[in-house]
A and B are shown apart, each in its own frame.
Chain A
Amino acid sequence: DAGVIQSPRHEVTEMGQEVTLRCKPISGHNSLFWYRQTMMRGLELLIYFNNNVPIDDSGMPEDRFSAKMPNASFSTLKIQPSEPRDSAVYFCASSLGGAGRNYGYTFGSGTRLTVV
C-alpha cells in the first residue's frame, strides 16, 4: 500500500482565496482524521470521520473550515476564505477502527500551507 496520500505537498495562497487540501486514506481503513500542526499549538485534531461520516468536528476552528468525505477513498479539507493565521502543516491520518477501538494511526506527509 502507498500509505496515506496528501496533496498538494505545499500550497502558497493569498489571503481571501479558497484552499482545498486532499487526502486519500489507506485502503480498508474506516477512520480518517485531519490534524493541524503549528509551532505554538502543536498537533491539533480538526475533524474525525468514521465510515465516511463526520463524527467529531469540534476542533474545526471556525466556519471558514469545512471537510468532506464523499467516499471511503477520498477526503477534502477546505478553507474559504483563507487567512494568514491559517498557515500551518495540515496532516491527514487514517486508521482501522472506530468508536471503541483502533489499531494505530498512519499519517500522510502533510500539506504545508502558507497564506500571505
Chain B
Amino acid sequence: KQEVTQIPAALSVPEGENLVLNCSFTDSAIYNLQWFRQDPGKGLTSLLLIQSSQREQTSGRLNASLDKSSGRSTLYIAASQPGDSATYLCAVGSARQLTFGSGTQLTVLP
C-alpha cells in the first residue's frame, strides 16, 4: 500500500525567502506525482503535475522535482510571498487513485 509523507508538517518563513517542501513515497511504481495547494475552507488547486518519465516541472516561481528511485519529490518556491500561505499537498498517482500526503501548512510572514 502506497504511503506518502510530507515534511515539515508546518513551516513559517519571512517574505522573500526561498523554501523547499518535501514529499516521500514508499512505492516507486507510480504514474505521476501532483502538487496541490489548498486554502482554508477551499478546494484543491493543482500546481504542478510530473509524469513518471519526467524529472521536474516548473511554473512561475514553483519548481517540482521527482526522483522515483529514491521515492522523493520536492516543491521549491522562490521568493515567497504572503499570498503563498496555504497548505501544500503532495499526491502520488497510480492506475486507480491519487494517494495524498498529510500536507505542509505554509505561512509566509510579511
Contact = CB atoms under 8 A, between A and B. Distances in A.
Interface of A: 33, 42-43, 45, 48, 55-56, 91, 93, 98-110, 112
Contacts, number: 55
Interface of B (DSSP majority class): strand
A107 B34 contact: no
B46 A102 contact: no
Nearest to B103: A42
Contacts of B45: 107
Contact of A107 (B43, B95, B96, B101): B43
A41 B102 CA distance: 8
Contacts of A45: 97-99
A50 to B, nearest CB: 9
A105 B98 contact: yes
Interface of B: 31-32, 34, 36, 41-46, 49, 89, 91, 93, 95-103
Most buried by B among A45, A102, A108, A109: A102
B96 A104 contact: no
Given A91-B44, A109-B42, 14 more contacts: A33-B97, A42-B100, A43-B89, A45-B97, A48-B97, A91-B43, A98-B95, A100-B95, A101-B95, A103-B49, A104-B49, A105-B93, A107-B44, A110-B43
